[in-house]
């Protein structure tokens, strides 16, 4: 494929899938020692979607992808790359990307999962842009899909009230003359990884022992530490991205941050001195869907924040790893 150095990334389609089952805080009151008042005050979450048996990460990712492809007026055979951000694939291999590719009928298209926890979608966007800018790919499908309900200990009130299931997908096209991704910043600090941890693969027997169920360990989280680290990392990353782009915060139409907790979002906008009403929020509806948060938010923000062509939108994420990422895009 010829090199197109002036090409940029353009979002040509978005799609979502959210399980129809809504689990309210009141329902969780019956499961663990909690209250709607505690959950709303500490997190802003009012309800979340929980998948049925058939609504796997693949199933949800396929549904979101079909919607995004339809909006982009593309078929699966037009894709040059499929990237899936997830911490809850149906299996290590085939990857979620290969499973989604098979369901879409994108045989032959390279497909891989990437794992950067809640930062996964923004990491994926940054990776995708490298291929689109150089002309190595023309159309990329980027999916964030999570079935966190399957790795939650539903007896643990510290964790189970925070998370939900869902998927979002975007189709990205290389568009000559369109800058698309104006600047980005990403990073990781594995030395603090133990503060947010899921799945103890190392502890599984490596010898040839009788098969043991490969049930991932459930979430472990140091909530207070993660809260502070998330706010600082996202604010610093956002500032670095704006500086690289040479864009003032005043010129940003909307911030779409990871949706983990309304207090984290509030602290972030306060630290950045950004008007709260220009920050997209849907955490009350879905809770934390890890890598699916930002693509679902992108899909909804277009209408809810009345985004127009050329508007600058700042994406900011933080997650297990620890990882963080931000990207300034032009709508």
Ligand X SMILES: CC(C)(COP(=O)(O)OP(=O)(O)OC[C@H]1O[C@@H](n2cnc3c(N)ncnc32)[C@H](O)[C@@H]1OP(=O)(O)O)[C@@H](O)C(=O)NCCC(=O)NCCS
| Residues involved in catalysis | 118, 258, 288
**38 interacts with ligand X by CB under 6 A:** yes
Which range in 32-40, 61-69, 123-131, 233-241 contacts ligand X by CB under 6 A? 32-40
Which range in 84-92, 131-139, 156-164, 265-273 contacts ligand X by CB under 6 A? 156-164
**261 interacts with ligand X by CB under 6 A:** yes
Q: In Å, how far are 116, 120, 184 from 123, measured between CA atoms? A: 7, 5, 10
Residue 173 φ then ψ, to 5° = -120, 145
* Closest distance to ligand X from the beta carbon of 71 (Å): 28
Whichever of 127 and 148 has its CB closer to ligand X, that residue is 148
**197 interacts with ligand X by CB under 6 A:** no
**156 interacts with ligand X by CB under 6 A:** no
Q: In Å, how far are 33, 35, 121, 241, 298 from 43, measured between CA atoms? A: 16, 12, 22, 27, 21
Name the DSSP class of 288. Answer: B
Whichever of 15 and 166 has its CB closer to ligand X, that residue is 166
Q: Do 141 and 169 touch, CB atoms closer than 8 A?
A: yes
Q: Which of 60, 242, 260, 272 binds ligand X (CB under 6 A)?
A: 260
Which range in 8-16, 53-61, 222-230, 278-286 contacts ligand X by CB under 6 A? 222-230
**42 interacts with ligand X by CB under 6 A:** yes
Q: Which of 4, 34, 232, 282 binds ligand X (CB under 6 A)?
A: 34
**262 interacts with ligand X by CB under 6 A:** no
Q: Which of 118, 182, 314, 315 binds ligand X (CB under 6 A)?
A: 118
The two tokens of residue 4 are 């197109």
Q: Which of 22, 40, 221, 262 binds ligand X (CB under 6 A)?
A: 221
Select from 173, 143, 149 the least CA-distant residue to 67.
Answer: 143
Cα 142 to chain centroid, rounded: 10
Q: Which of 61, 164, 319, 321 binds ligand X (CB under 6 A)?
A: 319
Q: Which of 43, 67, 237, 259 binds ligand X (CB under 6 A)?
A: 43
Q: What share of the chain is helix, strand, coil (3-state, %, to 5)?
A: 40, 25, 35
**7 interacts with ligand X by CB under 6 A:** no
Strand partners, 271: none
The two tokens of residue 145 are 């899909």
* DSSP H or E segment with residue 119: none
**269 interacts with ligand X by CB under 6 A:** no
Q: Which of 121, 186, 318, 331 binds ligand X (CB under 6 A)?
A: 318
Which range in 100-108, 129-137, 155-163, 180-188 contacts ligand X by CB under 6 A? 155-163
Q: Which of 158, 192, 232, 236 binds ligand X (CB under 6 A)?
A: 158
Select from 172, 168, 173 the least CA-distant residue to 15.
Answer: 168
Residue closest to ligand X (Cβ): 223
> Hey, is 249 helix, strand or coil?
helix
Count the residues of the shown chain that bind ligand X, applying the rule CB under 6 A: 21
Helix 293-304, helix 120-134: angle, nearest 10: 80
In the chain, which ranges are continuous DSSP H helix? 25-29, 36-43, 57-72, 96-104, 120-134, 157-160, 223-245, 262-272, 283-286, 293-304
**Contacting positions for ligand X (CB under 6 A):** 34, 38-39, 42-43, 118, 157-158, 161, 221, 223-224, 226-227, 230, 260-261, 264, 288, 318-319
């Amino acid at each position: 494929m010829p090199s197109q150095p002036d090409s940029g990334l353009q979002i040509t389609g978005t799609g979502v899938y959210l399980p129809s089952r809504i689990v309210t805080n009141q329902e969780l009151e019956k499961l663990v020692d909690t209250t709607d008042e505690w959950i709303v005050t500490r997190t802003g979450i009012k309800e979340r979607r929980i998948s049925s048996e058939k609504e796997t990460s693949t199933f949800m990712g396929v549904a979101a992808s079909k919607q995004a492809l339809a909006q982009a007026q593309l078929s699966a055979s037009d894709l040059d790359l499929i990237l899936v951000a997830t911490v809850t694939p149906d299996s290590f291999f085939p990857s979620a990307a290969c499973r989604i590719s098979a369901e879409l009928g994108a045989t032959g298209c390279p497909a891989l999962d990437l794992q950067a926890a809640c930062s996964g979608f923004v990491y994926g966007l940054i990776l995708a842009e490298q291929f689109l800018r150089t002309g190595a790919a023309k159309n990329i499908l980027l999916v964030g899909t999570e079935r966190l309900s399957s790795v939650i200990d539903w007896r643990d009130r510290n964790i189970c009230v925070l998370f939900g299931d869902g998927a979002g997908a975007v189709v990205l096209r290389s568009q000559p003359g369109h800058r698309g991704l104006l600047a980005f910043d990403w990073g990781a600090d594995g030395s603090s990884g133990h503060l947010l941890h899921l799945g103890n693969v190392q502890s599984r027997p490596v010898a040839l022992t009788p098969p043991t169920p490969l049930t991932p360990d459930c979430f472990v989280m140091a909530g207070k530490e993660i809260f502070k680290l998330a706010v600082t990392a996202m604010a610093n990353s956002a500032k670095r991205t704006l500086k690289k782009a040479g864009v003032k915060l005043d010129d940003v139409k909307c911030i779409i941050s990871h949706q983990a907790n309304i207090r984290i979002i509030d602290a972030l906008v306060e630290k950045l001195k950004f008007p709260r009403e220009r920050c997209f929020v849907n955490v009350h509806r879905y809770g934390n869907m890890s890598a699916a948060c930002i693509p679902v938010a992108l899909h909804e923000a277009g209408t809810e924040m009345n985004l127009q062509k050329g508007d600058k939108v700042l994406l900011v994420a933080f997650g297990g790893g620890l990882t963080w990422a931000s990207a300034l895009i032009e709508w």
